């Protein structure tokens, strides 16, 4: 049975698109890769392989001579996808050795023309061209659940960052106002690795029986995804940029806690743009109206980008 590179076997059966996902060990980058691969799987038959680069050393000299070890049992890739600076040279080395189209997620540290396609968030302000496609924020694997939990809400809490001045007391005061304004709702408060211990301890004090606190150790990625996809309302600290986009992808009505910006950056400009376009509601607006605006449709950037890739490189089902 002869095989065409993309699309169909010669006898008319659909062949899977071979995808290699290069992982650098960072959960956020893996989430972006899995989000795009799952979106591609909803459109075309695929056969994915994942390579942990922590176990695969790719030096500059290996890139020059085009050496890159293939995953065990894998055939040559049609697509090679990576996210994070540590994946950039390996992406290029894999292409030189095995062929395939390279897709890098987020703004690369190398020139964009070296890659077949760079998916770069709009807030990074890189103009689109034949090598660059802009996305609304980082991609993710979140989708809305068929049924929302009408009486459940989520607080997604970040911590110290380059973009905002962290203020635990200010966030706690806002949480108190929000919970008092919605006395029937049960809340899950999810912290991050950046959340100060003092903030967590204050939320664990007696009297917060309507708020269930979950730390990263207690909330596995699957649990996080399930909680977020089922939540009707989600409040997020603006420093948690990827979580803002995840909440929007989950189809929730999203509120933004108020924190002071340290300076104008691409990241906080992107968050402000979301508020201006009505994707989410800043706390100061909610405090006046007691209403959270919910977009008509969930954010579905992984699906949009996947569709663009399928169309661009003719990976359609027959």
* CATH code at position 98: 3.40.50.2000
Q: 136 and 243 share a domain?
A: no
pLDDT at 279: 95
- Split into its structural domains, the chain has a count of 2
Kindly state the tokens that stand for 243. Answer: 């979580």
The structure tokens 């002869």 sit at 2
Report the C-alpha gap between 261 and 269 in whole angstroms. Answer: 10
Q: 178 and 225 share a domain?
A: yes
If pLDDT is split at 50, 70 and 90, which confidence band does 9 have? very low
302 or 208: whose pLDDT is higher? 302
Q: In whole angstroms, how far apart are CA 271 and each of 276, 282, 284?
A: 9, 10, 15
Residue 11 lies in a domain: no
Residues 119-137 have a mean pLDDT of: 95
pLDDT at 30: 96
265 or 77: whose pLDDT is higher? 77
Confidence (pTM): 0.89
Residues 6+ positions from 134 with CB-CB distance below 8 Å: 119, 120, 121, 122, 126, 128
Contact 6, 19 (CB under 8 A): no
147 or 178: whose pLDDT is higher? 178
Q: 264 and 283 share a domain?
A: yes
Residues 265-286 have a mean pLDDT of: 93
Residue 35 lies in a domain: yes
Report the C-alpha gap between 94 and 4 in whole angstroms. Answer: 20
Residue 294 lies in a domain: no
Query: pLDDT by residue (tens digit) across 65-91?
Result: 556 777 777 789 999 999 999 999 999
Residue 6 lies in a domain: no
Q: 186 and 268 share a domain?
A: yes
Q: pLDDT averaged over the chain?
A: 88
Report the C-alpha gap between 34 and 21 in whole angstroms. Answer: 8
Q: What is the span of the domain harbouring residue 70?
A: 17-140+301-312
Q: 96 and 176 share a domain?
A: no
Q: 111 and 171 share a domain?
A: no
Contact 213, 191 (CB under 8 A): yes
Q: 77 and 116 share a domain?
A: yes
pLDDT at 1: 21
Across 60-85, b (16+ Cβ under 10 Å) vs e yields eebbeeeebeeeeebeebbbbbbbbe
If pLDDT is split at 50, 70 and 90, which confidence band does 11 have? very low
If pLDDT is split at 50, 70 and 90, which confidence band does 57 have? low
Q: 177 and 223 share a domain?
A: yes
Q: 115 and 24 share a domain?
A: yes
pLDDT at 55: 75
Residues 224-246 have a mean pLDDT of: 94
């Amino acid at each position: 049975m002869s095989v065409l590179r993309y699309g169909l076997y010669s006898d008319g059966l659909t062949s899977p698109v071979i995808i290699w996902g290069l992982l650098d060990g960072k959960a956020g980058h893996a989430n972006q890769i899995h989000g795009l691969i799952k979106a591609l799987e909803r459109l075309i038959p695929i056969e994915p392989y994942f390579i942990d680069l922590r176990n695969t050393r790719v030096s500059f000299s290996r890139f020059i001579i085009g050496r890159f070890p293939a995953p065990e049992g894998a055939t040559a890739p049609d697509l090679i996808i990576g996210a994070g600076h540590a994946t950039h040279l390996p992406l290029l080395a894999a292409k030189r050795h095995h062929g395939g189209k390279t897709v890098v997620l987020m703004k690369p540290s190398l020139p964009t023309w070296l890659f077949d396609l760079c998916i770069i968030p709009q807030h990074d302000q890189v103009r689109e061209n034949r090598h660059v496609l802009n996305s609304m924020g980082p991609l993710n694997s979140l989708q809305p659940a068929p049924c929302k939990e009408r009486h459940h809400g989520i607080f997604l809490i970040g911590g110290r960052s380059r973009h905002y001045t962290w203020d635990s007391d200010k966030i706690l005061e806002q949480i108190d106002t929000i919970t008092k304004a919605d006395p029937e709702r049960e809340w899950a408060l999810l912290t991050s690795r950046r959340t100060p211990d003092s903030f967590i301890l204050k939320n664990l004090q007696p009297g917060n029986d309507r708020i269930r606190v979950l730390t990263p150790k207690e909330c596995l990625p699957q649990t996080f995804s399930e909680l977020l996809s089922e939540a009707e309302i989600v409040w997020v600290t603006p420093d948690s940029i990827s979580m803002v986009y995840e909440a929007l992808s989950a189809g929730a009505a999203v509120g933004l806690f108020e924190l002071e910006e340290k300076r104008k950056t691409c990241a906080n400009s992107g968050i402000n743009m979301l508020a201006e376009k009505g994707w989410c509601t800043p706390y100061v607006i909610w405090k006046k109206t007691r209403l959270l605006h919910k977009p008509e449709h969930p954010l579905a950037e992984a699906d949009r980008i996947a569709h663009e890739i399928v169309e661009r490189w003719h990976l359609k089902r027959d």
